[in-house]
Structure formats: structure tokens, C-alpha cells
């Protein structure tokens, strides 16, 4: 976006922002919220040049994401760094909003995402992320009951669940 050119100021500086929002309407609203804080420009004196969705380059590969946020709690403003494992940035941000709502009772309006970036496994700090970096990691499925199509649902024998 930029300030609308006027005879007094014919050349205006364009501003570029990366805003994480669920849709275009919310993204434009957040743009005007942040631009008002950064410069003397508001919706009446400015225009949005383009609003595009950024797609991830490898959406099928699991990555580690580091997220820097600022949020308002009941006691004040806090800065936080969090880590998530997901295939896309959108998924990591969704996890962030859900965790902040559950653990900190923070609403989406009070959370400002400062930065999000994919980080290598060597730079991960949190134990709940690094525990998944083992390549020999297995998730066993013990005590499953096989359901056969033609067998009756209710029977007099106990199911054998150990395989």
C-alpha cells in the first residue's frame, strides 16, 4: 500500500507487509491497523496496491517453524518465542492461535505475529519439538482390535489385542 499521491506530495513511498490473516478482508484491516502505527497514513489518505496470498514452496514436507509474537494479556504486553512442527506456515500459525487461546486465554485480536520462519533442526530450542528429530522414531499401535466384515459385532469371547 501507499499514500495517495497529491499535488503537494506527488511521489509517495510504497509499504510492503506480510500479514497473516484468514482472508483478504481481515488482511486489509490489519494492514491499516499496522500502517497507522508506523506512519502518518490511514485508510482515507492511502490505497492498497495489491493483496496476494503467499503459498508455501514445499507444502508436503514437515518443517520446524519459529514464531515471534507479541500479545496482550490481562496483566500487560508480552513478547514470546514459540516453536511448531507443521507442513505450512498457515498450519503453524493455526497451532499458535489455538495454543495461545488455551494456555494463555489470549484472543486472536490481542496477538501480533512479529516474525515466522522455518528453522533447521539444529537451531530448535524447545524439547517438545526436538523429541521428533530422531529419524528412527516409531509410533507403535498396541492393542488394536481387528474388525472383520462378516464376523458378528457381539460375541462371547474376549478379543485378542496383542500382536
pLDDT tens readout for residues 21-62 = 889 999 999 999 999 988 889 999 999 999 999 888 889 999
* 48, 28 Cβ separation under 8 angstroms: yes
DSSP string, 94-162: HHHHHHHHHHS---GGGEEEEEEEEE-GGG---HHHHTT--TT------S-----SSS-SS-SSPP---
pLDDT band at 104 (very low <50, low <70, confident <90, very high): very high
pLDDT digits (tens, 9 = 90+) for 106-163: 998 899 999 999 999 999 999 999 999 988 988 888 888 777 788 787 888 887 777 6
Residues 92 and 83: beta-carbon distance below 8 Å: no
- In degrees, rounded to 5, the angle at the alpha carbon of residue 115 between the alpha carbons of residues 111 and 118 is 125
Question: Quick one: what percent of the chain has pLDDT higher than 90?
Answer: 67
- Residue 93: strand, helix, or coil: helix
For residue 94, pLDDT over 80 is answered with: yes
How far apart are alpha carbons 22 and 90 in whole angstroms? Answer: 9
61-81 pLDDT, tens digit each: 999 999 999 999 999 999 999
pLDDT of residue 163: 67
Amino acid at each position: 500500500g501507499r499514500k495517495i499521491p497529491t499535488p503537494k506530495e506527488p511521489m509517495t513511498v510504497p509499504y510492503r507487509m506480510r500479514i497473516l490473516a484468514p482472508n483478504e478482508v481481515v488482511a486489509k484491516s490489519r494492514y491499516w491497523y499496522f500502517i497507522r502505527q508506523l506512519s502518518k497514513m490511514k485508510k482515507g489518505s492511502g490505497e492498497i496496491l495489491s493483496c496476494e496470498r503467499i503459498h508455501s514452496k514445499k507444502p508436503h514436507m514437515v518443517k520446524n517453524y519459529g514464531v515471534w509474537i507479541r500479545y496482550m494479556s490481562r496483566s500487560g504486553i508480552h513478547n514470546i518465542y514459540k516453536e511448531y512442527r507443521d507442513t505450512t506456515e498457515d498450519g503453524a500459525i493455526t497451532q499458535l492461535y489455538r495454543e495461545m487461546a488455551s494456555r494463555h486465554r489470549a484472543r486472536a485480536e490481542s496477538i501480533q505475529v512479529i516474525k515466522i520462519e522455518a528453522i533447521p533442526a539444529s537451531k530448535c530450542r524447545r524439547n517438545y519439538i526436538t523429541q521428533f528429530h530422531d529419524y528412527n522414531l516409531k509410533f507403535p499401535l498396541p492393542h488394536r482390535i481387528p474388525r472383520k466384515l462378516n464376523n458378528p459385532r457381539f460375541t462371547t469371547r474376549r478379543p485378542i489385542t496383542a500382536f
